[in-house]
Amino acid sequence: MTFLPTRTHALERLASFVPKAGADYARLRNFDLGPGAHRHVSTLSPYLRTRLLTEEEVLRAVLGRHSAQAAEKFVQEVFWRTYWKGWLEMRPSVWASYRTRLAQLQNRLATESGLRQNGESACLGQTGIAAFDDWAKELTETGYMHNHARMWFASIWIFTLGLPWELGADFFLRHLLDADVASNTLSWRWVGGLHTQGKTYLATAENIARYTEGRHRPEGLAPYADPLTEPTNPTRSALPLGDTAPEAQRIGLILHDEDLAPDYLLSGHGIRPEATLLLTARKGLSPFHVAPQPLFFSEAALADTASRWSARLGPVSGPASTPDALVSWAHDMGLTALVTPYAPVGPTADLFASAKPKLAAHGIRLTQIQRPFDARAWPHATHGFFRFKEAIPKLLQAL
């Protein structure tokens, strides 16, 4: 399966999927038919992750063809991504704790040969569990894995192989084209019984055989899944509100690969940048080596966006990937204010946090402006998804 990192290809993929987003999706979405045969799901996630397509566009397209009731399962799938982001925005310490534990695991990998060998076997698809090994190879070769397979894979990683969930989450972040901090981290925690504490997801041979149409029936899977134990989820904090657009100054625009749909800034807020910087922090997703496919997808998506909006961006530079490169560019361009789409919890937000005091030393203010869709939806991510989904009809009306 080829994912071309352009908006044109994203729109073509959306148009192809829309007729199947109703009853077909509800009935067949859990079937993983193997690499190149994921025809029952949208495969839009790499484009939503970078917002080459926005959630609003996808929802409008689907609801223009199907009723909200007929497309309920797909609509909910789109909002799962939004829910995860809102939940983590109110609990950013979960990402920080994950990063701390991953750093500790780096040290363990250097000193514990058994952990290192078992982890490498899992990542290389050499465990002897055929289904698991096939999924690992599909991920490393294509940058994609069916959502149901991700759940099975995570369950086998944690409960059958007994490997730390953080290493599995990191494996996904290093290879997925749609690698998303919130969706990935919290989904792995959910499988392990940490997100909804005590509730785990157990992969079974029967379920895998059914939804792979008999391609796989793995033996030796864990017969039960004891929940992982960690301190309780942190108390939610106030949701960040984003900034207001700066008054007329020498404004620079930063386009990053968390949100490549700048029309809400350029048209909605009337931003007229003197210059634009393309920025990617994908290498910051992991302390280990990030695979070339997601890095290429990110940079090519940035280039595609810059090309489409070239008449309104001024001189375009980048891609940059460090706080110092951002600060040097802003100073060299003589800018007094920077505007960027709001970066949710993750490496891009971390990069901005590092850059802000350095920019302030040059008298440059960095402004992050939230997309209205996020500002409306995130406040509802207070508890579990089933409480969040009660707000979906109201959120759809706002479209």
Whether the pLDDT of residue 31 is over 90: the answer is yes
Cβ burial 34-58 (10 Å sphere, 16+ → b, else e)? ebeebebbbbbbbbbbbbbbbbbbb
Token reading at 49: 């992750």
What is the pLDDT, as a whole number, of residue 198?
Answer: 87
The full set of domain ranges for the chain reads 7-89+377-397, 96-211, 251-369
Q: 24 CB contacts (<8 Å, ≥6 apart)?
A: 40
Same topology, domains 7-89+377-397 and 96-211? Answer is no
Fold type of domain 7-89+377-397: 1.25.40
At 207, the pLDDT band (50, 70, 90 cuts) reads very high
Q: What is the mean pLDDT of residues 283-309?
A: 97
CA–CA separation, 223 vs 160, rounded Å? 9
- Tell me how far apart the alpha carbons of residues 139 and 133 are, in angstroms, rounded to a whole number: 10
Instruction: Please state the rounded mean pLDDT for residues 316-323.
Output: 96
Structure tokens at 145: 């894995």
Model confidence pLDDT, tens digit, residues 178-197: 999 999 999 999 999 999 98
3-state secondary structure of 269: coil
The owner of tokens 């029967």 is 206
Mean pLDDT of 386-393: 96
Q: Is the pLDDT of residue 165 over 80?
A: yes
- Which pLDDT score is estimated for 247? 81
How far is the C-alpha of 84 from the C-alpha of 384, rounded, in Å? 10
Give the pLDDT mean for 124-132. Answer: 97
| Mean predicted confidence (pLDDT) in 78-97 | 97
Average pLDDT of the chain to the nearest whole number? 96
pLDDT of residue 241: 80
Q: Which amino acid is at 215?
A: R
Could you tell me which of 204, 210, 195 has the C-alpha nearest to residue 225? 204
Whole-number Å distance between alpha carbons of 102 and 105:
5
pLDDT in tens, 229-239: 887 788 899 99
Give the C-alpha distances (Å, rounded to integers) separating 378 from 44, 214, 244, 245. 21, 40, 18, 20
Q: State how far the Cα of 184 lies from the Cα of 151, in Å rounded to an integer.
A: 11
Q: Average pLDDT for residues 115-119, to the nearest whole number?
A: 97
Confidence band of 289 (pLDDT split at 50, 70, 90): very high
Tens digits of residue pLDDT in 4-29: 999 999 999 999 999 999 999 999 99
2 pLDDT band (50/70/90 cuts)?
A: confident
Q: What is the DSSP letter of 71?
A: T
Q: What is the CATH number of domain 96-211?
A: 1.10.579.10
Instruction: Please answer whether residues 154 and 165 qualify as being in contact, where contact means their C-beta atoms are separated by less than 8 angstroms.
Output: yes
Instruction: Write down the pTM of the prediction.
Output: 0.96
pLDDT band at 111; cut points 50, 70, 90: very high
- Minimum mean pLDDT range among 46-55, 97-106, 237-246, 390-399: 237-246
Compute the distance between CA of residue 193 and CA of residue 329 in angstroms, rounded to an integer.
45
Strand order in the sheet with 275-279: 316-320, 275-279, 251-256, 337-341, 365-369
Which pLDDT score, from 0 to 100, does residue 1 have? 65
Q: Which CATH class is domain 251-369?
A: alpha beta
